[in-house]
Structure 1
């Protein structure tokens, strides 16, 4: 199901059938993680203290328990999937599962691969590609880009505070980008985005919206902005009848928020590439996709870490089609005839791609799960 935005009012969200749900091609477990997100909760205060690695360990433990309770799914091919910041945690989860398989842990999982969409991998490197991407998208001129690259010695993140020329260049870049919606550069910029988004040290909070602003959105006169639609998820998820239908335990959550800013979360993995290096030695499949209009985690940043894995290139950069139209461009890599990684762009997609291009993303995973070329 999905929200019918055209039929919904500010106080009554209406649902409609989603013809592009991934549940059409797979059995899907939707997991609120880390603990404290969504409707998930802990019974002690200390249990809310989680990190990248501990959250991954908890997810692995959950999967083991779930498969014990649902043994009919044990033979099914298992894929671990996630978007955005899951790009850090998913590879850790996959490694935990792979290690458990090799150690003989029960139940034995039929791990086949993983998918990542617009994935965060290394904050610093991901962000360093925003300016090159902005140049590719004609948001920053060639002249300004080349001058900034020279004056900043190619490092747009760790800037010497005494380098006046670099700082001036970065201010000019910021002026070019301050009204750009980072999640999809062609859509209107919204006040739901962090007010600090004009600085080059952008934080992950650019993808998060403020609860108070969300609730007040319908009372403000402004151009349509995609995050304004998030008000419907807030109203719907906090409806008592909805929570009762979902089986939410009474009293476990005072309020559902799309983004929980109160989490006690430690980012203890600064670069997830090492996990991909490990996984590339195993018999696994990987699908990595990027909306090509995402400035938050640009596709060029994702391609950079993929290329750092020193995989073998299998073919050329090629378009793929949905209903006769180009849906994106893909390329295949492999290693030791055991591991293969497909990277693809989603044409016109933002952060994250399935929200913007659901039909194309369903076709993508349907073909990939079936071992068909995109």
Structure 2
């Protein structure tokens, strides 16, 4: 017979076993969870591509939970490259890239209303030729979240380390993709962190970290690379595209000595005021497109979308994303953990502006990533830097300037590249031992080039992934 003492002991052992099992389940839940998405609200029928979403926990006790969207290549997922996409901002959700730049879906504006956002396939998705892993990073962007206030704090270098830690865990959990070539990609502010992440991976491989990531290189669109170079390229670019007069440009250049961000005298300040008057009604992301005339409050209202058959300007289209991502059935379909994000935002308050100080949760501690680019010239590494040539945010002339500072050997001179026998842009290629860099402009594109010229950008990356020249007629 079992006496009371034995029963009590048995009960304690059973209780401890259940506690340990619960802790094990919670630990597993915090490290990684993933969901295969077969249907999404707003899209008719099952998705014709494989979409996985999930969380990967990193940091101390997995206090940082990074949310991701992984789309397998529609061509050959076991051999095509794996692209790790880092959004700009910092603090912008990668859903903006997913729907507006090169993801497999986009909004159907004619069929959408403020009450229901409708989706359709993007025929120029980069998932036609590659696997793409879209990350909500740094922590706090999109559906990523932190479990403690301390874990929410990040910086350029910390967030880059977080991405590397994420990738090591993700590839361990997806061993079928370990042999695929890997490229780190991004746009705008990610021009600061992508070279750092890429260097972290090369350094980790050389140190023997497991798993070894099959890194082949990186690529960037209209990147912020050096605060001084990129900020001071705006006024020369504005002059080159006839937004400023020769007289005003030469006066500003003389009085400001080429430093347009820190006016040191009254004459420079006067000229910059005149420059601002000339540029304040120009849409910086694409100088030929209209700016939104509606107020911020009006533009964010679902009633505006409900009353319009189509957006009036590009900025208004981003409201469709906000409405869709905040729908409860959308978040359930995506596998978002309930209560972790109170309100989904396109970009959080840490979004970078020139001259902005560090925030409570983010430190802009890398002013220039040129040194990281230079370090990568010593690796067996490929790089593609592309610029929409109508971008006033980070104009191509600033990008050309820092590329020139790397002192690489010119392999092919400036020449046009083509899509369907039409000039799609211009390309120059460089090399240094086992390092190669292609710089390409995308004719007629703005700050996020695939958003403006999707067909041309798909052709560009497909040719580059394959190791071919962009030139094809």
Name the SS for the 2:145 alignment partner. coil
Of residues 165-174 and 212-221 in structure 1, the stretch that sits farther from structure 2 once superposed is 212-221
C-alpha spacing 1:279/1:212, structure 2 compared with 1 (3 Å):
farther
1:218 pairs with one of 284, 295, 304 = 304
Distance 2:224 2:432 in 1: 23
Counterpart residue number, 1:348: 444
Distance 1:45 1:299 in 2: 39
2:333 aligned with 1:248, yes or no?
Answer: no
Contact 1:188 1:223 in 2 (8 A): no
Counterpart residue number, 2:378: 281
1:111-134 per-residue CA deviation (whole Å, 9 max, x = no partner) reads: 101010110112232110000000
2:138 aligned with 1:42, yes or no?
Answer: no
C-alpha spacing 1:45/1:211, structure 2 compared with 1 (3 Å):
farther
What count of residue pairs does the alignment treat as equivalent?
355
Counterpart residue number, 1:232: 320
Contact 2:143 2:341 in 1 (8 A): yes
Counterpart residue number, 1:143: 247
Distance 1:41 1:325 in 2: 45
Counterpart residue number, 1:154: 258
1:51-71 per-residue CA deviation (whole Å, 9 max, x = no partner) reads: 011100010000000111111
Name the SS for the 2:148 alignment partner. coil
Of residues 304-313 and 261-270 in structure 1, the stretch that sits farther from structure 2 once superposed is 261-270
Distance 1:217 1:276 in 2: 46
Distance 1:174 1:217 in 2: 33
2:422 pairs with one of 313, 316, 325 = 325
C-alpha spacing 1:77/1:291, structure 2 compared with 1 (3 Å):
same
**Could you tell me how far 1:261 is from its partner in structure 2?**
1.0
Distance 2:171 2:345 in 1: 29
C-alpha spacing 1:330/1:308, structure 2 compared with 1 (3 Å):
same
1:12 pairs with one of 108, 116, 125 = 116
Distance 2:258 2:335 in 1: 52
**Could you tell me how far 1:10 is from its partner in structure 2?**
2.4
Contact 2:243 2:279 in 1 (8 A): yes
2:292 pairs with one of 185, 190, 215 = 190
Contact 1:214 1:230 in 2 (8 A): no
Structure with more of its chain in strand, by fraction:
2
Counterpart residue number, 1:305: 402
Segments of structure 1 that go 5 or more residues without pairing to the other structure are: 194-209
Distance 1:192 1:134 in 2: 25
Of residues 139-148 and 77-86 in structure 1, the stretch that sits farther from structure 2 once superposed is 139-148
Contact 1:60 1:96 in 2 (8 A): yes
Counterpart residue number, 1:365: 461
Deviating beyond 2 angstroms after TM superposition, the runs of 4 or more aligned structure 1 residues are: 190-193, 210-217, 219-223
**Could you tell me how far 1:212 is from its partner in structure 2?**
7.8
Distance 2:224 2:297 in 1: 23
Counterpart residue number, 1:124: 228
Name the SS for the 1:315 alignment partner. strand
Scaled by the length of structure 1, what TM-score is found? 0.91
Distance 1:215 1:104 in 2: 52
Distance 2:203 2:336 in 1: 33
Distance 1:261 1:212 in 2: 20
**Could you tell me how far 1:42 is from its partner in structure 2?**
1.1
**Could you tell me how far 1:302 is from its partner in structure 2?**
0.7
The higher radius of gyration belongs to 2
1:210-233 per-residue CA deviation (whole Å, 9 max, x = no partner) reads: 688523682799992201001110
Scaled by the length of structure 2, what TM-score is found? 0.72
2:267 aligned with 1:165, yes or no?
Answer: yes
Contact 1:330 1:342 in 2 (8 A): yes
C-alpha spacing 1:261/1:211, structure 2 compared with 1 (3 Å):
farther
